[in-house]
Amino acid sequence: MENKNFVIAVYVDNKSGVLTRVTAMFTRRGFNIDALTVGETEHSEYSRITISMRGDDYVKEQLINQLKKLYVVKKVEVLEDEPIKRELMLIKVRNQSENRSDIMTAVDVFRASVIDYSTEGMCIEVTGNPSKIDAFVKLMQPFGILEMCRTGIVALDRGTVTLLDK
């Protein structure tokens, strides 16, 4: 079977220990996560976990079935049909006078923002789909990446139907 990328949205109780229960299930079953993001939803009693993984249809179905068995999980859905995906990255690069204009041009082209600036380095915020983030990282490598941090994917289905409506 073919390994594919897929994104799963999970509504869970917004209580302490819930993330531990969910991630422990991944560990017990040997699932590997590419990215995992968590945050409170429009309903304060729920959090939303967005999981990005690779695997075949069997792995996807197993994961969904195991998540549905957890009592803290309220809803599980695979986001199909190219959901809206975004990621945030903070990246710190060397700020040398001979490269400064090239870095600033890249910041403008990628619609990024310089959020901290010093004579030795600058911190840049980039938001977009994962391929945009990857392209920006590749472009910054020759200038000297000092440090970077990526959030992982957050995703929503297109249209007006919500996860809880399904």
Write down the pLDDT at residue 117.
94
Residue 103 and residue 39 in one domain:
no
Write down the pLDDT at residue 141.
96
Residue 24 and residue 58 in one domain:
yes
Compute the mean pLDDT over every residue in the chain, rounded to the nearest whole number.
91
pTM listed for this prediction: 0.82
Pick from 34, 55, 78: which residue ends a domain? 78
What's the whole-number mean pLDDT along residues 6-21? Answer: 93
Residue 105 and residue 67 in one domain:
no
Task: Count how many domains the chain has.
Answer: 2
Pick from 78, 111, 129: which residue ends a domain? 78
Phi, psi at residue 7, to the nearest 5°? Answer: -120, 130
Residues 97-107 pLDDT 10s:
888 999 999 99
In a domain, 164, yes or no: no
Task: Quote the domain boundaries for residue 37.
Answer: 4-78
State the Cα–Cα distance between residues 19 and 73, nearest whole angstrom.
Answer: 10
Pick from 54, 78, 102: which residue ends a domain? 78
- The answer for residues whose C-beta is within 8 angstroms of residue 143's C-beta and 6 or more apart is 93, 94, 96, 99, 102, 103
| More confident site: 162 or 15 | 15
Residue 11 and residue 29 in one domain:
yes
pLDDT exceeds 70 at position 1: no
Task: Choose among 1, 21, 9: nearest CA to 52.
Answer: 9
pLDDT exceeds 90 at position 121: yes
In a domain, 11, yes or no: yes
In a domain, 125, yes or no: yes
Residue 104 and residue 120 in one domain:
yes
Residue 19 and residue 57 in one domain:
yes
State the Cα–Cα distance between residues 108 and 37, nearest whole angstrom.
Answer: 27
Residue 104 and residue 118 in one domain:
yes
What's the whole-number mean pLDDT along residues 66-84? Answer: 90
In a domain, 159, yes or no: no
For residue 54, the domain's CATH number is: 3.30.70.260
- The answer for residues whose C-beta is within 8 angstroms of residue 33's C-beta and 6 or more apart is 26, 51, 52, 53
Residues 31-73 pLDDT 10s:
888 899 999 999 899 999 999 988 888 888 988 999 999 999 9
In a domain, 42, yes or no: yes
What's the whole-number mean pLDDT along residues 9-29? Answer: 91
Residue 37 and residue 89 in one domain:
no
Tokens of 111: 């619609």
For residue 127, the domain's CATH number is: 3.30.70.1150
pLDDT exceeds 70 at position 77: yes
